[in-house]
């Protein structure tokens, strides 16, 4: 299967349009105003999907099988409280909490109508018929009831293409997540038609580069642990294909502290390491012998930039080694601002030449402390395509990824 940025952009717009139609139908049925949240075209492993769903909360879902023009499965998942609100809105009665009888019917009807809205948007853009099976009501706390027996769901280590949308109600608790898991061969055929004569990117090479990003994130976690003494692990990571203008929506609307880099070579792009303020204070306290009262003054800023330098080397060295090229990164730029403002300059600069971007999105968490670090690697679109076309996938597992930056020396200083 070959991926083309223009074709993926079409898919992204279809997902966005389908989400808008689904939101409109939810509003028509319930009378509740809705808005489309973040729509993503994700390349996710089975372990990542399960990590996202397995949060211990009760959930209710509707799933259907798709055939004809597009084969695969569509799954809509409500938190139980949101599903209960649907019941109250539609049948003017309190939900029983058991979702039997009319409760199940109400949620299933809403799920079916929203699914049809989403799929109708795809069918219109593709100019084809997509058949939708009778909806199946599902409930549970983990991913297993929703995805466990679907042949289109990826296994733990396999990377699958899927589409995720989130719709939020205005002033109520109704909201849901939508997962579209297309069949590999079916989506490959559609992608080939959309790609036309353009070269595109081999899917297997994107999978290899994704593994490389995972290795880089592991090196970052090791560097954080070595320098700060805070035991960390890579908890959540995804490869997203998104519209540039939606990237700021990913960041929490709260103060963030971190370091930003540009990098040049094959590929070029931007790299950001972002902490919430409490995590940034943990970094300063762990690396500065006598932490100052102002953690983000000159001394604290220097400590965070030094850590950023080490993390950048750890993340990018593996890319350069596998690609047999040189990737140079800039000196670290300290950032301290409300979330979206932190990444706006990157979006503006990339937006001069492209509308979409592959974003390697990783979260590192401490094992036993209130600490997390979000990593955003956003390569230049054309450079990434060249890098992937030159990538020898067999080198990914064997290449040296350990940074040559002197971590122990930095720690002693």
Stretch 27-47: mean pLDDT: 76
In the CATH hierarchy, which fold is given to the domain comprising 2-195? Chemotaxis protein chec (3.40.1550)
Mapping DSSP to helix (H, G, I), strand (E, B) and coil, where does residue 32 land?
A: coil
Rounded Cα gap, residues 365 and 323, in angstroms: 29
CATH code, 201-412: 3.40.1550.10
Rounded Cα gap, residues 241 and 357, in angstroms: 6
pLDDT band, very low/low/confident/very high, at 410 (cuts 50, 70, 90): very low
The closest of 132, 155, 133, 135 to 143, measured between CA atoms, is: 155
The closest of 186, 185, 166, 163 to 176, measured between CA atoms, is: 166
Phi, psi of 141 (to 5 degrees): -105, -20
Please say if the pLDDT value at position 328 is more than 80.
yes
Rounded Cα gap, residues 57 and 16, in angstroms: 27
Asked if omega into 410 is within 30° of 0 (cis), the reply is no
Q: Is there a shared CATH topology between the 2-195 domain and the 201-412 domain?
A: yes
pLDDT single digits (tens) 195-208: 777 777 888 888 88
Please say if the pLDDT value at position 379 is more than 50.
yes
DSSP assignment letter at 248:
G
Say what the pLDDT of residue 103 is: 83
Phi, psi of 176 (to 5 degrees): -155, 165
Rounded Cα gap, residues 258 and 142, in angstroms: 34
Say what the pLDDT of residue 384 is: 87
Say what the pLDDT of residue 97 is: 60
The closest of 246, 238, 242 to 217, measured between CA atoms, is: 238
Look at 254 and 155; give whichever has higher pLDDT.
254
Range list of β-strands (E), 291-395: 327-329, 333-338, 356-366, 372-379
Please say if the pLDDT value at position 157 is more than 60.
yes
DSSP assignment letter at 330:
P
Please say if the pLDDT value at position 178 is more than 50.
yes
Please say if the pLDDT value at position 26 is more than 80.
no
Stretch 283-287: mean pLDDT: 85
Rounded Cα gap, residues 320 and 228, in angstroms: 26
pLDDT band, very low/low/confident/very high, at 263 (cuts 50, 70, 90): very high
The closest of 149, 340, 186, 327 to 256, measured between CA atoms, is: 340
Please say if the pLDDT value at position 217 is more than 90.
no
Say what the pLDDT of residue 65 is: 95
Please say if the pLDDT value at position 95 is more than 80.
no
Say what the pLDDT of residue 92 is: 61
Mean pLDDT computed over every residue of the chain = 83
Look at 12-16, 327-331, 332-336 and tell me which has the smallest mean pLDDT: 12-16
* Dihedral sign from CA coordinates of 153, 157, 158, 160: positive
Percent above pLDDT 70 for the chain? 90
Stretch 366-377: mean pLDDT: 82
Assess contact for 35 and 222: CB atoms under 8 A. no
Please say if the pLDDT value at position 19 is more than 50.
yes
Say what the pLDDT of residue 9 is: 85
Q: How far is CA 245 from CA 12, 20, 344, 356, in A?
A: 13, 17, 9, 8
* Count of Cβ atoms closer than 10 Å to residue 195 Cβ: 19
Look at 220 and 156; give whichever has higher pLDDT.
220
pLDDT band, very low/low/confident/very high, at 406 (cuts 50, 70, 90): very low
Assess contact for 12 and 3: CB atoms under 8 A. no
pLDDT single digits (tens) 117-146: 888 878 887 888 999 999 999 999 999 999
Stretch 94-109: mean pLDDT: 75
Say what the pLDDT of residue 405 is: 45
* Count of Cβ atoms closer than 10 Å to residue 235 Cβ: 16
Stretch 338-355: mean pLDDT: 91
Stretch 317-334: mean pLDDT: 88
Look at 293-297, 299-303, 361-365 and tell me which has the smallest mean pLDDT: 293-297
Rounded Cα gap, residues 267 and 228, in angstroms: 30
Say what the pLDDT of residue 174 is: 63
Please say if the pLDDT value at position 236 is more than 60.
yes
Stretch 179-201: mean pLDDT: 83
Please say if the pLDDT value at position 64 is more than 90.
yes
Sorted by where each begins, the domain ranges of the chain are 2-195, 201-412
Say what the pLDDT of residue 155 is: 80
pLDDT band, very low/low/confident/very high, at 333 (cuts 50, 70, 90): very high
pLDDT band, very low/low/confident/very high, at 38 (cuts 50, 70, 90): low
């Amino acid at each position: 299967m070959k991926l083309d940025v223009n074709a993926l952009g079409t898919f992204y717009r279809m997902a966005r349009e389908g989400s808008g139609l689904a939101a409109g139908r939810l509003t028509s049925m319930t009378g509740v105003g809705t808005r489309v949240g973040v729509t993503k075209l994700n390349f996710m492993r089975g372990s990542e999907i399960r990590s996202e769903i397995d949060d211990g909360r009760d959930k209710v879902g509707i799933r259907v099988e798709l055939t004809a023009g597009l084969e695969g499965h569509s799954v809509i998942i409500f938190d139980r409280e949101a599903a209960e609100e649907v019941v109250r809105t539609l049948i003017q009665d309190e939900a029983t909490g058991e979702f039997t009888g009319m409760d199940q019917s109400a949620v299933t009807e809403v799920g079916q109508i929203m699914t049809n809205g989403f799929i109708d948007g795809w069918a219109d853009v593709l100019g084809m018929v997509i058949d939708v099976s009778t909806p199946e009501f599902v409930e549970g706390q983990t991913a297993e009831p929703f995805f466990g027996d679907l042949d289109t769901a990826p296994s733990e280590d396999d990377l699958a293409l899927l589409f995720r949308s989130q719709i939020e109600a205005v002033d109520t608790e109704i909201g849901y997540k939508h997962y579209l898991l297309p069949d590999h061969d079916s989506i490959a055929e559609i992608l080939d038609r959309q790609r036309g004569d353009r070269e595109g990117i081999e899917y297997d090479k994107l999978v290899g580069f994704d593994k490389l990003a995972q290795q880089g994130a592991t090196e970052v976690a090791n560097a954080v642990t070595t320098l700060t003494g805070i035991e960390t692990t890579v908890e959540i990571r995804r490869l997203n294909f998104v519209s540039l203008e939606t990237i700021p929506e990913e960041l929490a609307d709260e103060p963030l502290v971190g370091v930003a880099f540009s990098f040049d070579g094959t590929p070029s792009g931007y790299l950001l390491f972002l902490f919430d303020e409490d995590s940034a204070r943990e970094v300063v306290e762990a690396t500065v012998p006598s932490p100052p009262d102002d953690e983000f003054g000159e001394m604290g800023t220097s400590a965070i930039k030094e850590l950023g330098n080490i993390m950048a080397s750890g993340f990018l060295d593996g890319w350069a080694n596998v690609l047999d090229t040189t990737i140079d990164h800039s000196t670290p730029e300290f950032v301290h601002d409300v979330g979206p403002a932190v990444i706006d300059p990157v979006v503006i600069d990339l937006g001069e030449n492209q509308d979409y971007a592959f974003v390697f999105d990783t979260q590192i968490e401490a094992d036993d402390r209130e600490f997390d670090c979000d990593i955003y690697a956003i390569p230049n679109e054309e450079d990434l395509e060249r890098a992937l076309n030159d990538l020898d996938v067999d080198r990914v597992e064997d290449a040296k990824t350990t940074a040559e930056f002197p971590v122990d020396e930095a720690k002693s200083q």
